[in-house]
Amino acid sequence: MLRLGTREFGTHEPVIMAIVNRTPDSFYDQGATFQDEPALARVEQAVAEGAAIIDIGGVKAGPGEEVTAEEEARRTVGFVAEVRRRFPDVVISVDTWRHEVGEAVCRAGADLLNDAWGGVDPRLAEVAARYRVGLVCTHAGGAQPRTRPHRVTYDDVMADILQVTLGLAERAVALGVPRESVLIDPGHDFGKNTRHSLEATRRLDEMVATGWPVLVSLSNKDFVGETLDKPVKERVLGTLATTAVSAWLGAQVYRVHEVAETRQVLDMVASIAGHRPPAVARRGLA
């Protein structure tokens, strides 16, 4: 059972985490949700389309202008509080690697800290433990925040992913993070080239077999773009194909831009797998 905030999710229940970036330079929407009202409208739409988690980020993942911890907090803390007020049942996640920001957003009502840079600030897990919130433990290949991979090599990329994420997860639990609120993430594109990310996808069942719920962040990423030779705005089909494969292999949480489309893919895979009945079953019965 995965528990985040006030919500519980069954083992075979796919969960959508909708991306809401509070940045003026996000790679996908170029700051469309930087201002409060468009961002709140995005939250309302995502929840209506089936997102159970809202993932709020205050710093672009890639290189760009420096964003201090104070500025990151300014972009996220008040917004977290407002989302908490308007949507009391939604799970609020904050994408940050900094313990100072983690502390501030937990005080404002966050339920989950999404540490996409793989424990580069070990104190973030301590914050999650102190506030008894969830934690995403990600493999980033030892990369520093906001850097791009350069000639990264692994003897066995999945073996490295497992070693790092399981170590982070067990440390989190030892610190006091509730075991049922810890997720592991292979970290597509983070500290990896396209072939690494494809292999991580192909071998996701090895992560699932550990018993920890697996989160994947696939949406419109560079490994999809390079695989199909498509720009950012033409990666939706490749993303959804990767989502279907990940769902079949047992991943549970999906960090996405396109919520409605992802919901259909996940529901279809769940029905094929026998975990969800068809919404309507009339064919051949009338």
One-letter identity of residue 140 = A
Q: Is 192 a catalytic residue?
A: no
Choosing from 255, 263, 276, 282, the catalytic residue is: 255
DSSP string, 213-254: -BEEE-TT-HHHHHHHT--GGG-HHHHHHHHHHHHHHT--EE
In this structure, what token pair is assigned to residue 271?
Answer: 């029905």
- Catalytic residue from among 123, 221, 233, 263: 221
Whole-angstrom distance, CA of residue 107 vs CA of residue 286: 56
Residue 125 CB contacts under 8 Å (≥ 6 apart), including other chains: 115, 119, 135, 168, 171, 172, 175, 177
The answer to whether 96 touches 58, Cβ cutoff 8 Å, is yes
Residue 144, judged by CB atoms within 10 A of its CB (0-12, 13-18, 19+), counts as: exposed
Backbone CA torsion sign across 128, 111, 50, 83: negative
**What is the C-alpha separation between 43 and 58, in angstroms, rounded?**
15
Asked if 255 is an active-site residue, the reply is yes
Say which residues have a Cβ less than 8 Å from residue 278's Cβ, sequence separation at least 6: 271
State the catalytic residues: 221, 255
